[in-house]
Each structure stands twice: as C-alpha cells, then as structure tokens.
Amino acid sequence: MKVYIDPKFIIQPSIQNMGLRFPDIEFVDNLENDDIEVAMVPWATFITEETISKLPKLKWIQLLSAGYDGTNFDLLKRNNIQFTNAKDIYHISMAEDVLTKILVLNRNYKIYIENMKQGIWKPIRKEPEIYGSTIGILGTGSIAKEIAKRLKAFNTTIIGYRRTQRAEEYFDQVLIGNDGLDELLRRSDYVIVTLPLNDQTRNLLSREKLSLMKNTALLINVARGAIVDQDALTEMLVDNKIRGAGLDVTTPEPLPSDHSLWRLPNVIITPHNSSSSPHLMNRLEILMSENLKRYINGNDLIYIVKE
C-alpha cells in the first residue's frame, strides 16, 4: 500500500518515523503514483476533480488541519473516499493564544511596549479584568472547550453558541439560533470566534450583529476571517463602538500592508499562527499513526468529517 504525505507540511524526520512504525507501507512524497491509497495533506484544496481523477485507488484522505472549509464533499461521496481531519491537535496552543490576545489588550501592552522604546514611565489606570466577566464563544468544539476551560479559572460565565442544543463541559449555557446569537453578543464582555467557515457561518458577524456587542467588549477571531464583516469591524473599532479586537485571521490573507487595521491601537493581529507550537508535529504523528493503524485493521477512523 502506498501512502502520500505532503512534504511541504510534514517535516522529513516525521515521515521517516512513520516509515519505521509501518515498515510494510510505502510512503511517497509526490503524487506521480496512480496507486496511492491514502493521502495525508494539509488543506482541503487538495480535493479537486483533477487531483482525484489521477488517484483512482484513493480511499482515504487525512487532513492535517482542523479547518476543512472549501471541501468538495460531493466529489468525495462520488468516489467513496473517507475524509478525516486533525481535530484535537491545535486546540491547546490556540486556547493559549486567545488568552494572550485578551491579556495584551486588557493590560495595554501595545502601549507599554512602545513606551519602553522611548523610556517612558506612564502607568495606565483602570485596566479591565477578565475576572467576573461573561465570555461568549461561537462554537463549542475542541478549541472552544480548551478556551472555556482556561477562562473558567477567572471566575467567568461562559456562554456557547452552536447549531443544536446540547450541554457542553465548561459552558454555563449553550444558545442556539438567531435569537441565541443575538443574546450572546449583547451579554458578552468577550466574544471569541472558533466556528468553521461554511455557508451558514460566512459573514455570520455582520454589521448588524456586531452592532449588538457592548462598546466595552473585545472580539477575538481565531477561526476564519470571512466569518466577520471586516469592513464593519474596522469602522466600529475606529469609532470605539467595540473596545478592541484580537485577530489571527483576516480577509484576505495576508492582510495588505496598507490596511487600516494594522495601525489601530486597539487591535492585535497575528499572521494566522495561533496554532504555533513545538509539539504539533508529535501530535500529528500520533494522530496519523493511530488512524493509519485503524485503516489497516479495518476499524472506524477517528475524527471523520461529516458535511
């Protein structure tokens, strides 16, 4: 059996480790093999008519990212290809990143870092606390749970938003539907976006929805830029209708260097890097090995993605 692993995403030592774990499998790093049965790739953009037509024996695609927006599910169904993602790989580092963005904005570290350059000693009084606040998290998946677990330590109330009603660990309340989203936005001191991008979530936080937020609230987005009306968000940040924003994702990416968001004092931008961690490759190796073992033995794969 041949397994393709994208060499641009998985470093060579990790590919070699996979070879040692599965000596009977041939791991290849190019697609010039029409007998590839498994493909382990970073992005759903791999799933195209052209690519799939060149791989007639392909039975399973292991996505090496958590997000799967843009997936051609019809193509997968037509070719009877199983599809799994890398859930529970990036959640720890992303939760820490969210906490960082909140604290940097709350404690005015952008200002203090600039003051350090000039040797200016100027304290800012009455900086916001997380303690006792209401946190609204859009999404209740593994990333959202890790965020909620950490923020509960600040004696907060955690509200989740999802498509269907179901109690979730670490969440004090879970809201659904349009009215539920409106309530979350009105009540929350911090709104954190962790939802996948799809037809239902694209532009979910429209100008109308953003206007429901408190003017003292922060918006943190570590999901996809297209979930938020970026133009409306920018205007509201300029007018102080929202206190601030921490953005790991934008529209487009990279964000043009002349975009006004770069220069707003109440904004923190990171380059779609909230998952950064030295532990990611090891976690991916464990996932790839576990699922490959299951595939070989004919057992159910973990983290199967359903449309």
Say which of 91, 162, 224, 243 is annotated catalytic: 224
Active site residue 224: yes
Taking the whole predicted model, whether its pTM rises above 0.75 is answered as: yes
Based on the domain organization, do 112 and 163 belong to the same domain? yes
Regarding whether 249 and 115 lie in a shared domain, the answer is yes
Please say whether the beta carbons of 159 and 149 come within 8 A.
no
* Catalytic option among 259, 272, 283, 294: 272
Shared domain for 256 and 290, answered yes or no, is no
Could you report the per-residue pLDDT of 207-229, keeping only the tens digit for each? 999 999 999 999 999 999 999 99
**121 is a domain residue:** yes
Q: How many domains does the chain have?
A: 2
CB 243 within 8 A of CB 264: no
Q: Between β-strands 82-84 and 134-138, what pairing exists: parallel, antiparallel or unpaired?
A: unpaired
- Provide the domain limits for residue 72: 2-89+277-297
**How confident is the model over 11-69, as pLDDT tens digits?**
888 889 999 999 999 999 999 988 999 999 999 999 999 999 999 999 999 999 999 99
**Which residue of the set 253, 279, 290, 307 is catalytic?**
253
- pLDDT computed for residue 306 by the predictor: 84
Active site residue 146: no
Nearest to 223 by CA among 189, 191, 248, 260: 248
| Residue 106 placed within a domain | yes
Residue 302 forms part of a structural domain: no
166 as an active site residue: the answer is no
Identify whether residues 85 and 122 lie together within a single domain: no
- Considering the domain architecture, whether residues 128 and 180 belong to the same structural domain is answered as yes
CATH of the domain at 184: 3.40.50.720
Which amino acid does the sequence have at 103? L
